[in-house]
Structure 1
Amino acid sequence: MSRAGTAARGVITGAVSRFWLAAALVAVWEVATRIIQESYFPPPSQIVATMYELWFSGPASRLFLTQDALDDFGHSLYNLFGGWALACLAGVAVGITLGLSRTLADYVEPMVHFGRAVPPPTLISFYIVAFQLGTPMQVATIVSGVIWPVLLNTTDGVRTVEQLHLDSAEVFGVRGIRRLLWIIIPGAAPKIVAGLRISLGLALILMVLSELIGSTVGIGSLLIGAQRSFELPQMWAGIVILGVLGYLLNAVFVAVEKRVLRWHLNARSAT
């Protein structure tokens, strides 16, 4: 067998070994729901058919996406990535500052721990008053809950940079911005990336939550609308698409993480 054939066979075998349990659970779900025949729990085949009708029965020129798919996915993903990106930028910047200055951290950290202890849903009423209903309110809700794991992981990562690396940089005259870019940020990168990964999952949750109130477009809006009108297959279709979206986001993030932190993963494997 050729090398390409062997590689392809390995990919297929790996995929089967990873997804056989999921396929078995879906099959059990299908059989159980058809036996029970409870309207609140439609079978997976009906959910998939609803997903196809709602979002994936469009023309080939739009990659088979319907107008509802473009509206719902576009709005939700814009809020998701917009809020996540803002939180990541602010969290990394503040985290680096607090990690470098213990004096400043002593004053600011009590407020940080107070802020992260406040559940983001309790602030939605404030955001509605401050930003009105719409995208600004939804992005603010995401940022308020997503920033904390990034900030705390960045602060901890900066504080735990190897002292030997800092001393070596001092000996070779690497100071100021070069010390930050060449020594501190790479040394803190594993913990920063861990915070980014955690925050991405939280962003998905808060994206849905922010769209449940006063929104007419987005996956969250579809969920609450389907629930109120007892369109249960649509509600389950929204739940399933959120699970698929979460899985894909995590898979893409892990792939990027392996490439960006390859040096760290190789060093850990060697150790």
Structure 2
Amino acid sequence: MQLQAVDYQSPTAQEEFVESLRETGFGVLKNHPITQATVTRIYDSWQTFFDGEEKNNYLYNKGTQDGFFPQSVSEVAKGFTKKDIKEYFHFYPWGQCPPALRPQLADYYAQANTLAQELLGWIEAQSPTEVSKHYSEPLSNMIKDSDQTLLRVLHYPPLQGNEEADAIRAAAHEDINLITILPSANEPGLQVQAKDGSWIDVPCDFGNLIVNIGDMLQEASGHYFPSTTHRVVNPDGADMTKSRISLPLFLHPRPDVLLSERHTAHSYLQERLKELGVI
């Protein structure tokens, strides 16, 4: 199995993209509305931020989870004991952010949210009636006016060669939210797990946009759309000396949105954050 990039501007894009999500939990788009220049400027600005000391002035707020998370508090994936080799910044429009960097992120956040609403519309349009009848409201409406959608600026620092055994940049995990939108990072490493357990490299051509299903959409669709396990592996050789920046946008519904008979978006998120030890 291979993941193929779908041309956003193709007349069959909607069908091809949603079929890929259905089969693998992942879809890759090319020729989409978010420009490569926009993403490159963010990567460059935030590489400077992570390389400096200013980041320590924006340490995260435990209650609201906005701000800078140093490597010392990096996530431990469910089922793992080693921290991921990464540091990151959580951006919400209402949260803290260096003033010089806020306009870039706010602009990208708005653009990516607009695209996400369209893609959720595609997913709903391609959902069989027996699946879509369980959606409590249109999928694209679930994220409307949500202040929970999170833009994470991730920095995977160069590897020193003395990392803990079995520690990798991002251990195998699934996302919690509805869908995640991710421009290709400046370095490869993202892999998705196939149904047979093997690992497949996600196409990382710079300019591609990667979209994956999260647990909340899996829940809302009665598992019709799979929240697929993925990871970021450590590079080999010369690539060890390079940082890796990535920019996932985690699309979260409003807390009151009913995902299923057993969960609202709020109750589902709280359950998962407790499992991860975040709260």
Q: TM-score band, normalised by the shorter chain? A: under 0.3
More relative contact order, 1 or 2 (CA 8 Å, 6+ apart): 2
Which structure has more helix as a fraction of its residues? 1
Structure holding more strand per residue: 2
TM-score by length of 2: 0.22
